[in-house]
Structure 1
């Protein structure tokens, strides 16, 4: 059956690399595409950098990813894939460094990259996160090449949506983000909501902003061959399975997930929750595994909660497929990659109605205003009680995910790269 006959989006023509862009330097200063997503500072940014770099290389663009050398067991250069090299930059001691201390090593990072054998051999810089943008401003000026910036998260948004007890982002970050936003040749945003925020906050015009959403690996994240939609009120049915995936920090709301489970069990008393992820961020110590386990005991659901460290992508896909509902109660989200992956696997998502999730969760789930566990539980119970609703939602989620492949992301990237490279040539001419 053809894609059009099946009612699926037709594949778009693949964009070829523009003539002036054959080598790209990606900056991911504070976290490496080799790191495990879901632990430490690893998350959607790591997945994005890796997927973009690998797929750019498949189109014929060589990519060097410059990241701080945080693992002394790794060599200076690691081939991630054909045409993709991860370049470990020594800024300070080789070894782990807290993200809050990273700003003190940015000058050292710039100097180390300038001394790198490949320095000056790239056609374009693409910086990920504000720390990388700070570095990118200086390198782009010295190398006289365009700078493309993706923030992933913005300090002004995080400060406006702080979880209880969380620490606000420092003034240094806010100042740096403004300067990078104003000086980059193009700022890539993950959603239209992020574009509006940058326009309101820094006055950026639409011509300097381009929406390039993250994608999903449709070969890895896919629905089970034989989906099952039991009615959990029937005798003998297996226990309902809820899933939370993400770093264990207040921003992501793992505490809301456990409180939601407690509410759900009032109606479906055998329901279980699996939490996949590791402690990270400024919330460590308030929402790490020990604190979440204590909360589960307090609520009387400890035996129904499993907390699992971050897992590789193939295992993560199997975790999605084993779940009946995925919980995404984030207090702030620039782009809900977990929600997109879950929908690709045919699993309904119950998510907080925040901008980054609102842009991703379509017919494949329910958006819940606020973070009241009772409200989230009502949405979950609707899916657990109605297998027809779950089946329809699963189908809609799969459709949503099919229109968000990483290859479509790279099509947009290459178009932007060509535009900024062409604009630089016109100015030089």
Structure 2
């Protein structure tokens, strides 16, 4: 853990704490991930803020108010404040409606900061292109370095659309290009994302830094080891341990379980898993597919969950699909531990936080070989990467793993070892270095007109 902040950051006449403004327009870090527009980015913003606060930084997160009941300012945790900005109607707006509210949101951010002494913030860190548009204006107004994390990019998503999914609009691409040009430093989750930024958005390679997100390794941890020198006895105790966990979660004890955790939308690919359950490969052996547990809510279309359940009925596998709402992180970790496999069939992922969290609990992951999942999942070590989204391919891989207890046990060991690569303390240390790099770059820019 870093003992002190980088030279130059957060230093005035007295060595005060680093003050970070974060902007997350379309989704609040306080929302439950797994439904609507809330997902891995919520976890990223909150966990990074926590790690920065542990290092003495003061973090203020600006996000759009979505209900009238939300307080304007919430002291979420020591060192972390969430500011809800009114911009447009509280309800009825999805992500695609928000570009028309960016002016109102930016005005709210500037108004909230205006009562502070000049030079209050040391750095501005924005998340997703909508926030980057707001940050571009605010950073210039406040004369602070702008750091931006894309999380997802329109050109990358459009290159790997799920069948039936709508492409991202050209206006988003233009907005992303502007944010790339104006940011002092761009944070990429993986080397692949960094290459995408340079290739697709003409980003300056010298201003792109790779910082892999972390996993809360205290929450997402393997089940406690069981005693017993005899291997057969240890296996029996482990089975009893898992059975007890499944009983607490109201899951069947005597079935193989494949878990999907995330928003129910075409991009995330839960339909691939439902179709895979309908493949003929399951007729071999005991003649039935595993139970697919879907933890997630509708995203994009309010009928997404009902459509997934209707697809299961059409495929004749409704009895093998169980849909439940998203759950808090501590409960999610128990679901990971209770599953035989976790499946991540996304068509596009900048990182793949679910895969990293599942592996940290010691559960092997079957994932699509796309984006950041190729970094998170070590093929043949912590899980298996599937080269396409064909239901038969997924059925074959899932069945081969579910039929081989020894293979899954070996992957479970690899999953636990692989998870040690990811930690939020390491990520925060690297982000502090990014902030210092951004400060140095910002100092070379033409000075804005004094206000």
TM-score normalised to structure 2 length = 0.87
Residue aligning to 1:111: 107
In structure 2, the CA distance between the partners of 1:401 and 1:51, relative to structure 1 (3 Å rule), is: same
Q: Indicate the residue corresponding to 2:283 in structure 1.
A: 266
Counterpart in 2 of 1:29? Answer: 25
Structure 1 residue 428: Cα displacement: 8.1
Counterpart of 1:390 (choices 401, 405, 408) is: 408
Pick one of 257, 261, 286 that aligns with 2:273: 257
**What is residue 13 of structure 2 aligned with on the other side?**
none
Say which SS state the counterpart of residue 362 (structure 2) adopts.
Answer: coil
Q: 305, 308, 313: which is aligned to 1:292?
A: 308
Query: For 1:312-369, what per-residue CA distance to the aligned partner results, in whole angstroms no more than 9, with x for missing partners?
Result: 1111111101100111111111111111111111111111111221111012100011
Aligned residue number for residue 378 of structure 1 = 396
Pairing partner for 2:373 from 352, 357, 365: 357
Which residue number corresponds to residue 4 of structure 2? 16
How far is 1:265 from its partner? 3.5
**1:199 and 2:198 equivalent?**
yes
In structure 1, distance between residues paired with 2:58 and 2:106: 21
In 2, Cα distance between equivalents of 1:366 and 1:50: 29
Whole-Å separation in 1 of the counterparts to 2:208 and 2:185: 6
- 1:172, CA displacement in angstroms? 1.2
1:357 and 1:296 map into 2 onto residues whose CA distance is: 26
Q: Deviations over 1:164-210 (max 9, x none)?
A: 11111111110010010111000000111111111111222321100
The 2-side partners of 1:201 and 1:299 are apart by 39
Provide the secondary structure at the position in 2 that maps to 1:73.
Answer: coil
Q: Tell me the secondary structure at the aligned position of residue 326 of structure 1.
A: strand
The two structures, once aligned, show a CA RMSD in angstroms of 1.9
Give the structure 2 partner of residue 334 of structure 1.
Answer: 350
Q: Residues 199-278 of structure 1: matches in 2 within 5 Å?
A: 199-226=198-225, 238-263=254-279, 265-267=282-284, 268=286, 269=288, 271-278=290-297
Question: Cα offset for 1:292?
Answer: 1.1
Match in the other structure for 1:316: 332
TM-score in terms of structure 1 length:
0.91
Gaps of 5+ in 1: 1-12, 231-235
Matched, 1:399 2:398: no
Deviations along 1:23-51, whole A, 9 cap, x unmatched?
A: 00000001100111000100000000000
| Offset at residue 427 of structure 1 (A) | 5.8
* Residue in 2 that maps onto 1:146: 145
Residue segments in structure 2 that go unaligned for 5+ positions in a row: 11-17, 227-234, 240-251
Any conservation in 2 of the 1:15–1:414 contact (CA below 8 Å)?
no
How far the C-alpha of 1:69 sits from its partner, in A, is 0.9
In terms of mean alpha carbon deviation, does 198-207 or 209-218 score higher? 198-207
* Alpha-carbon distance in structure 1 between the residues aligned to 2:92 and 2:31: 12
Q: Which residue of 1 aligns with 2:163?
A: 164
The DSSP-based 3-state class of the residue aligned with 1:244 is strand
Alignment partners' CA distance in 1, 2:50 and 2:311: 41
For 2:254 and 2:428, how far apart are their aligned partners in 1? 41
Distance of 1:272 and 1:369 partners within structure 2: 23
Alpha-carbon distance, 1:402 to partner: 1.1
Contact 2:184 2:441 (C-alpha < 8 Å) held by counterparts = no
